[in-house]
Structure 1
Amino acid sequence: MGSLDRYRDRIINGPIYRTLLWLGLPAVSVQLVNISYNIADAYWLSRYSPIDVAIPRQIWPSFMMFQALAMAIGAANQALISQYIGAKMYVNAIRTIKQYFTLSFILGAIMSITYYLLRPLIFLFISSPPQEIVNGVLNYSAIISIDLFTSYFVLCFSIIIQSAGDTRRPAIVNAISATINIILDPFLILGIYLFPRLGVIGAAIATVLARIVGAIILYIIMHRKFPFIEIGITTEIDREWLMTTFRIGIPILLQNIFNSLAFQIQLRLINSFGVATSVAWSIGFTVIDIANSVLWGLSQATAIMVGQNLGANNIDRSKKIARYSQILIGSIIAIGSCFAYIIRHNIITLFIDPSDPEVNSIYSETENFLKYALFTIPFFGIFFVGSSVGRGSGHVLIPTIIDIIRLWIVRIALGYILSQYLGSTGIWIAFALSNMFSGISATIWIQRGKWAKPIIKRSS
């Protein structure tokens, strides 16, 4: 257990800012690689067909819906595992890990098959992509259903290793996976050398192959780094663990399902303005991803530090971690947003030639979206810190409510109303306002501090 003790001591006692960066920077590096992959994916698809750039973003909301269970049970078990480790209850942590892996395997298989079967209905009745890309969406999503199953393993292994305090190895593995994806894209999309020219199907195959490699490497790391944790299917599922997992996970499950539906309905609204607006949404989000590059890694560090410190009964330190995380992440994302705004034209022209009259409307629409969206991204970063505090503490209800309001009331309902008067600009304005609302609300919740209490039961 020596490796667990070393990681725990640094998280419980180390300087807060330095520890946040120590835990978070590896994942930030991965996010930068992932952004590079997203840009490369969109770039090669734009060389195949400009409108095919929109296809992967059409899939993402429905994929997120079927991945919702993985996110929910992952958040619950991250809180449990990290708090057990913080309390030095290692036997409980190992038992939790075995049950968590078993549940991930079962749910991953069920969700993958269900997504494959239901995807035509999802795209026909919910997001309704423009006719020009319907076939590409259906073909891409069929292959991505395999990726859904693999993603349950990747998330499970990553959370187990991260909860122990090792964020570097999952980060490196994700970077390797993304790099494989980047390398495979031009060969499979454009048919370079002896490879067939597959377009969006090639992009999907590259994603699946890269994810499978990542899952295998993570399993090997688990086996070698923590040999005392025997990963495998277990029939010993503790009822109390199951109830705790779903008690913590259900709000997150509902949050992710509502988020997915919201994004699909929002996508339907965007799609109703034509394929140019759909492509602009996809390119615009690629630019926003640059500003968000620090968000995912550092917020993951926040969840781990909050969880382990609550497990060690360091209540005041947990509150400081939450406040310091807001300051750090909000500031860095503000800088990233400014940088993305400065280079936005350069990035847009990677995918769109503004001198080409056939795609000039896409360029203008993308520029319009970014004008409203970029400077509100720091508010979203602050909100995401709130969600991470909720995951680390196990108190996720309030962040879930905030998230539902920002999407359903502000982004969709207000976006629909504004779009009737302002066209697609109304959608972009509502997007910006939803970020501002969520950031302000999360700050108020964190400052009140009612979340700062552990959820685990201590041994008597």
Structure 2
Amino acid sequence: MSMEKVKAMRREILEGPIEKTLLKLAWPIVVNNLIQVLYNITDTFWLGKLGREALSAPGVAWPIIGTLMALGMGFTMAGFSIVGQYIGAGDFKKANRSAGALFSLVLFFSTLSALISILILPLALDFMNVTPSIRPYAYRYAIVIFAGVPVSFLFMVFNALMRATGDTKTPVKISALTVFLNIILDPIFIFIFKLGVLGAALATVLSNAVGTIIGVKILMSGKAGLKITLEDLKPDWKFYSKIVRVGLPSSIGQSANSFGFVVLTRIIMGFGDVTYAAYVITTRLVNFITSISRGISMAMGTMVAQNVGAEKYERAKVIAERTMVVNFAIAGFAVLVIGVFRVPIFKVFLDDPEVIAESKIVLEYFLISVPFFNGIFVVVTGVFSSAGHTVKSMVMSMLRLWGFRIPLSYAFGYIPAITFLGIRIPMAELFNFTSRGVFFGMGLSNFLAAIIGLAWFLKGSWMRRIID
């Protein structure tokens, strides 16, 4: 996208029709997100051919990986917010400098994260209480993915910078190429080279590396509206300080959120391989739904960042409210479809009668809450992050997982009875110490977090910009 196109897109974002502009920005991001979900679905599909244990390996590894990715994602979101607001304010020189500094910071941070993560992996698997049958698969998968963390981080930065300019089409083209490579490489590495889960991880890392190389070349060529030079990549301690100040709360929140899923894995593992396999497949389906909602929310984020940068706060609020309605409707329809076609959908991944029976529990007690998560919670935290108010998004993320999901899942799944406001709630009688209690707690956390998030959004304390 040329500079002229960036300026034209800026005018449309600040002054054009909201729904039309949102759709224009959103559809490439939605496609891009769906393509990214195909990475996981492809791995799940092929690994399911090797059995329940191999299928569960990525599900065990990704909460650990997500904890590290979340650290970088917080800084990336801070950079996205700053670059987007500079573009909204019309200061393109500072936007370019900020983009370059973000790139160099994330490169250093991601390399350090990769080294640390490899060292702590055995301890993380011990903490999650991973069953002996799954552990060797999860370990091999995670080691390779950890080694590829730097390229994953840089590809994430490239996508964020493109969104900040209003260019949502270029990332989807590159992501389509990487997924196409992954789809080809997965069966070759898994079955022909007989590498199993190791092959699935290698396919993912190599595909990501190709996308990262292309993205870096685009940013340094100036064809992206932004142009990063070698001078821009030099350390900028003033900018780093701002990135850390703005991004650290988001990083802490998202990392705590991801680590929460490590704890949640331990809780679910207590009910055995069947329950965990059903959970892994369900999360793949939820990720598919969420990828659509997050795509629309990310497009909204571009519009919110630039409108906040231009101090058009009421327009930013209206954009967010309309996004909530759209996301809730889409997620509700998707959950309905999964409910109707649950059995054939699960059989695509794993034709296991026990797992399919368990999936009914996951649907009834957890999946029905997803529209509230996607329609309200995702949008609210996206507004807070895009406006640069990352402490708010951090608080919301930590509240949903640590304040609600983990305590409620554990309480309803393992505790015989609790007393709340003087009322005794007989957990054992309600759920009989089965996985129903865990999934009920997970679903309830989505409802509660959505209600609190909506109230905070309506208060309007996020309606101020963070740039000079």
Query: Per the shorter chain, which TM-score range?
Result: over 0.9
Could you tell me how far 1:234 is from its partner in structure 2?
5.2
Q: What CA distance in whole angstroms lies between the structure 2 residues aligned with 1:60 and 1:231?
A: 34
Q: What residue is the counterpart of 1:80 in the other structure?
A: 82
Deviation at 1:168, TM superposition (A): 0.8
Q: Which residue of 2 aligns with 1:4?
A: 6
Distance in structure 1 (CA, Å) of the matches to 2:155 and 2:449: 29
Note if 1:242 corresponds to 2:244.
no
Q: Which residue of 2 aligns with 1:363?
A: 356
Q: Which amino acid is 2:80 matched to?
A: Q
Counterpart AA for 2:27: L
2:229 matches 1:217: no
Q: Secondary structure at the match of 2:436?
A: helix
Contact map agreement 1:101 1:232 (CA 8 A) in 2: no
1:240 to partner: Cα distance: 3.4
- SS where residue 439 of structure 2 aligns? helix
Counterpart of 1:279 in structure 2: which amino acid?
A: A
Q: Contact 1:333/1:377 (CA < 8 Å) preserved in 2?
A: yes
State TM-score, norm by structure 1. 0.93
Runs (5+) with no aligned partner, structure 2:
415-427
CA contact (8 A) 1:26 1:171 kept: yes
Helix, strand or coil for the counterpart of 1:78?
helix
Q: Which amino acid aligns with 1:202?
A: G
Aligned to 1:48, the other structure's residue is in SS state coil
Q: Which amino acid aligns with 2:327?
A: I
**Residues in 2 aligned to 1:83 and 1:338: alpha-carbon distance in whole angstroms:** 38
Question: Aligned equivalents of 1:224 and 1:450: distance in 2?
Answer: 37
Tell me by how many angstroms 1:233 deviates: 7.0
User: Residues 36, 230 of structure 1: CA spacing in aligned structure 2 closer, same or farther, 3 A cutoff?
Assistant: closer
In 2, are the aligned partners of 1:102 and 1:232 still within 8 Å (CA)? no
Match of 1:372 among 342, 348, 365: 365
Partner of 2:289: 291
Alignment match, 2:418:
none
The one-letter code sitting in structure 2 at the alignment partner of 1:320 is V
Identify the match of residue 426 of structure 1 among 434, 437, 458: 437
**Does 2:191 correspond to 1:190?**
yes
Please show how residues 440-459 of structure 1 align to structure 2 within 5 Å. Answer: 440-457=451-468
AA at the equivalent of 1:72 = G
User: Any conservation in 2 of the 1:41–1:203 contact (CA below 8 Å)?
Assistant: yes
SS in 1 for 2:464: coil
Query: Structure 1 residues 439 and 231 mapped into 2: Cα distance closer, same or farther (>3 Å)?
Result: farther
Which residue of the other structure, out of 396, 404, 411, is the alignment partner of 1:402? 396
SS in structure 2 opposite 1:132?
coil
1:326 maps to 2:346: no
Which residue matches 1:179? Answer: 180
SS at match of 1:242: helix
Q: Percent identity?
A: 30
Alignment partners' CA distance in 1, 2:233 and 2:211: 27
Question: How far apart, CA to CA, are the structure 1 residues paired with 2:198 and 2:234?
Answer: 41
Q: Distance in 2 between matches of 1:335 and 1:275?
A: 30
Equivalent residues of 2:46, 2:186 under 8 A apart:
yes
Paired residues of 2:71 and 2:252 also in contact (CA < 8 A): no
Matched, 1:393 2:387: yes
Gaps of 5+ in 1: 354-358
Following superposition, the deviation at residue 227 of structure 1 comes to 7.3
Contact 2:165/2:225 (CA < 8 Å) preserved in 1? Answer: no
Q: CA deviation at 1:221?
A: 2.5
- The aligned residue for residue 356 of structure 1 is none
Write out per-residue CA displacement over residues 242-270 of structure 1, whole angstroms, 9 at most, x where no aligned residue.
22211211111111221122111110011
- 2:252 is matched with 254
Cα distance in 2 between the residues matched to 1:377 and 1:233: 45
Q: Could you tell me whether the CA contact under 8 Å between 1:102 and 1:233 is conserved in 2?
A: no
Rounded to whole Å, the distance in 2 between the matches of 1:387 and 1:418 is 27
- How far apart in 2 are the matches of 1:295 and 1:59? 24
Please tell me whether the aligned partners of residues 101 and 231 of structure 1 are also in contact (alpha carbons under 8 angstroms): no
User: Does the CA-based 8 Å contact 2:63-2:262 persist in structure 1?
Assistant: yes
Partners of 2:362 and 2:436 within 8 A in 1:
yes
Q: Superposed, which structure 2 residues align to 1:122-141 within 5 Å?
A: 122-124=124-126, 126-141=127-142
Of the structure 1 ranges 327-336 and 202-211, higher mean CA displacement relative to structure 2 is found in 327-336
Following TM superposition, by how much is the alpha carbon of 1:374 offset from its aligned partner in structure 2, in angstroms? 2.1
Question: Distance in 2 between the 1:442 and 1:249 partners?
Answer: 20
RMSD over aligned Cα, in angstroms?
Answer: 1.7
* 2:52 equivalent in structure 1: 50
Match of 2:334 in 1: 336
Q: State the alpha-carbon separation in 2 of the partners of residues 257 and 319 from structure 1.
A: 27
Choose which of 447, 462, 468 in structure 2 pairs with 1:436. Answer: 447
Contact 1:280–1:369 (8 Å) recurs in 2: yes
Q: Is the 8 A contact 1:419 1:426 kept in 2?
A: yes
Distance (whole Å) between structure 2 residues aligned to residue 60 and residue 307 of structure 1: 29
* Residue deviations 1:1-57 (CA, integer Å, cap 9, x gap): 323212211211111111111111111112223333432321211112232111101
Equivalent position of 1:301 in the other structure: 299
* Count of residues paired in the alignment: 447
Q: Return the offset for 1:228.
A: 6.4
Q: Output the amino acid matched with 1:370.
A: L
> Is 2:25–2:166's contact at 8 Å kept on the other side of the alignment?
yes
Give SS of 1:130's match: coil
